[in-house]
Structure 1
Amino acid sequence: MTARVTVRGVAPYDVVIGRGLDDQITPMLPAADRVAVIHTDSLAAYAARVAGQLRQSGFDVLPLVVPDAEAGKQLSVAGECWEALGAAGFTRNDAVVTVGGGAVTDLGGWVAAAWLRGVRVVHVPTTLLGMVDAAVGGKTAINTSAGKNLVGAFHPPAGVICDLDVLDTLPRADYVAGLAEVIKAGFIADPTILQLIESDPAAATTPQAPFAPEIIQRSVAVKAKVVGEDLTEQGLREILNYGHTLGHAIEKSEQYRWRHGDAVAVGMIFAAELGRSAGSLDDATVARHRAILEGVGLPTAYDGTPWEQLRATMAVDKKSRGTRLRFVVLDRLAAPRILDSPPEHALSQAFSVVTGKAAQ
């Protein structure tokens, strides 16, 4: 069964969710003459299948192979892509298709956003993380030495194709990491997601779970509603960063050896503790964070980097304002808000819970 979630706003587009969706890509590229397919070497076979569909529809295809994961989100890699587009004579009639996980989506989206100040891009995410997070919402970015995703642009895609068939061959650890973003959507907006996962945590760790299509569609719908109202993160969209402030700091500190979802899972434990210390989040909901994350095998503890170093990294988080740290916390389930300038003792106490050095 195929579902469509429409992302509204200044540039509406559809996210198509289902199985066997190869034929859904070309209708999203009606004006293109040439199409660059950006992918990693590990996805060469699937990218070739996508390219074949595009060629059968009459497009000239330029394959662009980029490094895997965060190694591809570099200025030098983006530069190589732009040079290739220039050499091939890409114009504003042409388009980019990304085939890969969140890192490829971030990089390829930015390549499209910057080329000729913006050409059409269609995302074909191949990971759960990419489907429910990176491919939806028009955020594009690369990393710098200062932190993750600090250079980029808002550039909504022309469409997103979430073919669940590709998840069947995704390593379980990668699928589980993607569940962190699904669980996040449950905590900030749609508790039904949490209930479905809690009904069978073991089944939730595979795309064969009977409720997998529903939790994916619900997660996409949460993000679609938020970004449709606030594309450029002037307010509401910040709630999507629940767990991300500490999570991004962990990723950078670990030189991106940690999966994004794993780091965000730890970040949600931290954020839940901050919510409790602010006097808003009840003990039961804090405990529910740990139970559901551990139930699917996501990490809930981290003790790899001193607090002072992580705090310094968080100071350049996108939500920060001047010297003020700002975090997304919950007042209650599905009621997120921004906590501005929490006391230092509350921050260190929350981190001590994450490290296991404080009573829970």
Structure 2
Amino acid sequence: METSFHVRTKSREYPVHVGHALLPILDQILDQETDRVFIVTDDIVSNIHLKPVLEALQNSEIEISTKILPSGESTKSLDRAQNLYCFLGENLGSRSDAILALGGGVIGDLAGFVASTFKRGMKLLQVPTTLLAQVDASLGGKTAVNLEWGKNLVGTFYQPHRIIADVATLRTLSDDHYATGLAEVIKYSIIMDPKLLQMLKEKRNEIIQRNLETITTIVERCLRNKARIVEKDETEHGTRQILNFGHTVGHAIETCSEHSISHGEAVAIGMLEEARYAVRIDALDNQFLEELESLLCSFDLPTVIPSSLSKEDLKDVMKQDKKVRHGGLSLPILVELGRVEMKVVDGISI
């Protein structure tokens, strides 16, 4: 089963492929103009998924170079970006070559950042292997590295040239890692897609069991949802900001926990905290808050800020958030399931 569609932004139009068993036919999916590929991956993904990618590309005349980085959020740094610049420079990388990001959100963000800046732009192929990356991070052109003051503080908007999401890779994830990706799926259902919300409730067992056809449908639906937003607002000056629901508190949790709490877990907690805030300012009925909490719990996602984290530290980190402008925080406020409204607030009480 494979499906595809095109994303059409002001800066680039590109195809998105979603299905299973796509890695073994990667050479058939790539355009014929790609004759040299630099694969960027990590030391966990490479042990599982690099071999079928190499075998597929070796069936073509594509020249291949591979860089394997340590896994984990700490890899998303300026130091690692410098390592990749050296790798590309030493191998005479050119603007006509492609960087293929094979992995989760960390690899996708870092490789995308390097692709957007090395020689002012190389081709970028996103081949996400985690649920979180497949439904969200791979599409939309956000690239970034972290600084000690917070997540994604140095980055660019740079649309990929192609996305290939093979949902069969999701069967290799641990249960916890898979569940964290479901937080982003739930986000889309909560902010803009009531039909997806109903699917999550009705097909919970199939989703938990990672039924390939069900997951393919969900991944495609999430990507199409995001594509519609990105096509309207590529650089996040308007509508696209609703996709940050849960991420203001979530990114602060990640930073303050020194990334011991994963992105998906942090976003799950962040969504609920931001929904609680919406209830406190009378923007959201408490029954919707309870429904969101029940949904998160049904997929074994956390709903409470760990007591080990200082709420004052979280507030300090949120002051560094990219969504702070002119002293005010631009926050997506959930007003009902399926709809959010943007409001500028002084801060979030948590």
TM-score by length of 1: 0.92
CA contact (8 A) 2:167 2:212 kept: no
Partner secondary structure for residue 328 of structure 2: coil
Deviations 1:12-65 (A, max 9, x none): 112111111132455434333321000011122412321232232111111011
CA contact (8 A) 1:28 1:158 kept: no
Which aligned pairs between 1:1-360 and structure 2 lie closer than 5 A?
1-10=1-10, 11-22=12-23, 23-24=25-26, 27-45=29-47, 46-208=49-211, 211-302=214-305, 303-342=307-346, 347-348=348-349, 351=350
Task: Report the Cα offset of residue 98 of structure 1.
Answer: 0.6
- Tell me which moved more, 28-37 or 165-174: 28-37
Task: Report the Cα offset of residue 270 of structure 1.
Answer: 1.0
Partner secondary structure for residue 145 of structure 2: strand
**2:38 corresponds to which letter in structure 1?**
A
Task: Report the Cα offset of residue 340 of structure 1.
Answer: 0.9
Task: Report the Cα offset of residue 111 of structure 1.
Answer: 1.0
Partner secondary structure for residue 160 of structure 1: strand
Task: Report the Cα offset of residue 209 of structure 1.
Answer: 6.8
**1:338 corresponds to which letter in structure 2?**
M
Partner secondary structure for residue 189 of structure 2: helix
Specify every segment of 5 or more residues in structure 2 that has no aligned partner in the other structure, as ranges. none
**1:16 corresponds to which letter in structure 2?**
H
CA contact (8 A) 1:129 1:181 kept: yes
Paired positions, count = 346
CA contact (8 A) 1:37 1:62 kept: yes
What's 1:357 paired with? Answer: none
Task: Report the Cα offset of residue 121 of structure 1.
Answer: 0.6
Deviations 1:267-323 (A, max 9, x none): 000111122223221222111110000011000001332221101100111111132
CA contact (8 A) 1:8 1:229 kept: no
Partner secondary structure for residue 14 of structure 1: strand
Partner secondary structure for residue 305 of structure 1: coil
Deviations 1:182-227 (A, max 9, x none): 0000011101111111124344323227632222211111111111
Taking a change above 3 Å as real, the CA distance of residues 139 and 36 of structure 1, as seen in their structure-2 partners, is same
**1:42 corresponds to which letter in structure 2?**
I
Deviations 1:91-117 (A, max 9, x none): 111110010011110011111111111
- In structure 2, what is the Cα distance between the partners aligned to 1:314 and 1:25? 43
Partner secondary structure for residue 192 of structure 1: helix
**1:33 corresponds to which letter in structure 2?**
D
What's 1:358 paired with? Answer: none
- Tell me which moved more, 83-92 or 3-12: 3-12
CA-atom RMSD in angstroms: 1.6
Taking a change above 3 Å as real, the CA distance of residues 286 and 65 of structure 1, as seen in their structure-2 partners, is same
**1:40 corresponds to which letter in structure 2?**
D
- In structure 2, what is the Cα distance between the partners aligned to 1:312 and 1:217? 37
- Tell me which moved more, 201-210 or 246-255: 201-210
Specify every segment of 5 or more residues in structure 1 that has no aligned partner in the other structure, as ranges. 352-360
- Tell me which moved more, 106-115 or 271-280: 271-280
- In structure 1, what is the Cα distance between the partners aligned to 2:230 and 2:175? 29
- In structure 2, what is the Cα distance between the partners aligned to 1:25 and 1:331? 46
- Tell me which moved more, 21-30 or 328-337: 21-30
Aligned-pair identity in percent equals 35
Deviations 1:231-269 (A, max 9, x none): 111111111110000000000001111110000000000
- In structure 1, what is the Cα distance between the partners aligned to 2:30 and 2:186? 30
TM-score by length of 2: 0.95
Taking a change above 3 Å as real, the CA distance of residues 321 and 25 of structure 1, as seen in their structure-2 partners, is farther
- In structure 2, what is the Cα distance between the partners aligned to 1:224 and 1:209? 22
